[in-house]
Chains A and B, each alone.
Chain A
């Protein structure tokens, strides 16, 4: 058994009981990362990881109590601040930025004695859906390096799937954890909005961003999620989420959204979906049709709201303070225009312009305000649907990971890939992606379970049951 075959819990147990050292574990994953360098998942392994691992081993030797993740290497996405380390959001615009502080999620990991392993590849400034928009070059799918990893947390998903790191933290604004998790056969969750602190995570769409772990299995994902979750005085949008204390359910009423059904039935992967439904019925689940009347409008809503917030959040990247300043800027205006034009990639520029447009006077009511109203409506519709079922199920992605370069020149085609993931983001409800089958090309497919606010416990429970029941499917 190699370390990459052990779960996070097993690794933690082994380190704590001194069966093996953190140093040996971290060394192993450094070697694995080197072996899989071509996947381009990890931008940088931090230079102090062995030192930190040794420090944990020392504590354990001395009998000093250590945290739940003692000695475990955890990779973080390149948009998460870690004091003293580079953070570039996969953009050359931030190539010289060194974090002056640590994000709350990093502090929480460190409080449990985790070893922050390195920063993972992503789409530039979390804008994209394939990880092709990175200044470091695309991250490749763990199963087929001619295909995309998915995004924007592509690096985190691939690092875990390819055994480079036992667990990695990603962020999800419209599907950026779930979609790459689905494409790489690993587990990822987007929590109820406000469950995990956003403090220290570069803001893209402030009203939907959430950070969370990507792991090999449901147990590991839940284990690390519980460490990250919690109200934070540095983030006013965090909520008290007593996700663990819900009453136990023996079986689940699973809703299939009427409006999405037609889309699902069109998919090439529909037969696999049907098989999964049967599997869940065997587990005692009941299937019900539910209505979320405006669910198909969420994609449009998402591509209005999120660029609007992003355009404002990214205005601080101006060539003045910590971003790369254009070398031939002479006036203030040139500092702004030249630096931003040179620094930001095409997709980022595209969304900034879109965001400015929907916020501009004369268009604000027709676009931004309307999208906000739709968001409120959607929350109500989801809440109503959840009175008739416990979870809503749909595939995480329309299909398997597509080939690198296949959709990069068609932004709208790229946006359509997000159809199944954005509703949960807009509604602020939790959603988990669990690998459930392989597609025609032999690549992983993920199933998505969406729950009502603060019902992560049910999502993990159902996902876990599903995971064990399907163990045979995935290996086919």
Chain B
């Protein structure tokens, strides 16, 4: 395998998170009854005309900002003409000569920069369902006309690992910036792989194949590895790689040539006369950029460098924009990032474990109040957790609740000492065990004190005082 350089380029499609389709006001929604979200425009009725969805354009520009692209001041929607039953107008409105975003790229962890060629806006086709030979094939146009961005990379990848990392970074940014859901299994993100081999060190590219039907990151990985081996075998045998499209079969773990068309399709692109050219001012481009959230990679860097958090914590906290914003707000209110990150990661996230899109049931202010009380030793962690539940239940402020419930009653050092002395006096076995092996009975003694103080004693303090009493 070291005989060859691997050259890979990607074409990624991501479904945009808009309420309505890109050229009509039908709902952009997954899972509706077949043909429920359709109208004359997206079903290609005679006389219907497209009206460009402004939000879709903004999201495409946002995607461009995610990856450092140049945003065009002048962009054109073009017609890509071809016949297929899932394409109601027999042309797809896409972009060719003047896309919305050009250039940009992503730096991998190795430091290698993967260049983007472009990001453009287009519409999706409907879905075909093959029923049976007698019934035939049915078409559902719900997905027809929904907005997609197409991200095209330069052929800069040299391995499946690089592609895998890249795809994950793309998904992370698009999800974080609320541009796309990128759920590959639902078709929210699709990836076609163009792959070729060339003799190691050669500057001449080999013949490439295109692979489709890759429905998960794992499939992409496996498909790339398979195709590298397949092409290497072909070349080793002295034969030529055929330029073709190959369909990946994840179950069988191999790809197969799709029925080849004799020549490349001529899509007869021309600018769509129904849609005026898109003109965007530098001010508008800048405004969209300013409305962008800071992206996860940048935030992680800050959390590690500024807050001193471990990478692992930074990773969890940037799993979504919501959690990251929540964390940052808490830190803004109370500058204890490490402690706050623990509370969120351990205690809050478990409250919303099953939910996909969630909101923490306790506000940043309230959480911070509780953490402060614990840090100030007004209450201990156990009480703090109880308080969280109570705040969620009653929506009252932690301070008010703590007062009402008498949770703030501090157990004084003296009270603890008295209890320890009491235990010492009443329980000779404990004393003896303590002399022998303090660690063995520490837990029991602490438990005794907690039980007799309704759990309010500060366990750290108790542990400090135990040796003083039992060690005389």
Contact = CB atoms under 8 A, between A and B. Distances in A.
B169 to A, nearest CB: 35
A315 B47 contact: no
B49 interface: yes
Given A237-B273, A321-B88, A360-B268, A315 B83 contact: yes
Query: Could you say which of B46, B81, B88, B89 has the most chain A C-beta atoms within 10 Å of its C-beta?
Result: B46
B24 to A, nearest CB: 9
A32 interface: no
Contacts of A308: 270
B268 A332 contact: no
A207 B273 contact: yes
Given A101-B40, A315-B90, A81 B270 contact: no
A80 B48 CA distance: 11
Nearest to B271: A372
B305 interface: no
B122 to A, nearest CB: 16
A360 B266 contact: yes
Contact of A199 (B44, B49, B273): B49
A84 to B, nearest CB: 14
Contacts of A360: 266, 268
Interface string A234-266: 111100000000000000000000000000000
Contact of A100 (B45, B81, B83): B45
Nearest to B272: A206
A359 interface: yes
Interface string B40-75: 100111111111100000000000000000000000
B461 interface: no
A233 B52 CA distance: 11
Interface in B64-118: 79, 81, 83, 85, 88-91
Contacts of B270: 308-309, 312, 359, 364, 368
A200 B47 contact: yes
A336 B83 contact: yes
A93 to B, nearest CB: 11
B442 interface: no
A332 B85 contact: yes
Interface string A306-345: 0011011001111011100000000010001000000000
B49 A312 contact: no
Given A94-B46, A202-B46, A234-B51, A320 B273 contact: no
Interface residues of A, number: 42
B276 A312 contact: no
A103 interface: yes
Contacts of B89: 315-316
Given A100-B40, A316-B90, A309 B273 contact: yes
Given A206-B274, A234-B51, A236-B50, A316 B266 contact: no
Contact of B85 (A233, A236, A320): A320
Interface in A34-57: none
Interface string A82-126: 000001010000100100110100000000000000000000000
Nearest to A197: B49
Interface in A206-252: 206-207, 233-237
A101 B90 contact: no
Contacts of A320: 85, 139
Given A315-B83, A316-B89, A318-B83, A356 B47 contact: no
25 contacts: A79-B46, A94-B46, A101-B40, A101-B45, A101-B48, A203-B46, A234-B49, A236-B51, A236-B275, A237-B49, A237-B274, A308-B270, A312-B270, A315-B81, A315-B89, A315-B90, A315-B91, A316-B44, A316-B89, A317-B46, A356-B268, A359-B268, A359-B270, A360-B266, A361-B268
Given A100-B40, A237-B274, 16 more contacts: A79-B47, A81-B45, A199-B47, A201-B47, A206-B273, A236-B52, A312-B91, A315-B81, A315-B91, A316-B88, A316-B90, A318-B83, A318-B90, A321-B44, A359-B81, A364-B268
Interface of A: 79-81, 87, 89, 94, 97, 100-101, 103, 198-203, 206-207, 233-237, 308-309, 311-312, 315-318, 320-322, 332, 336, 356, 359-361, 364, 368
Interface of B: 40, 43-52, 79, 81, 83, 85, 88-91, 139, 266, 268, 270, 273-276
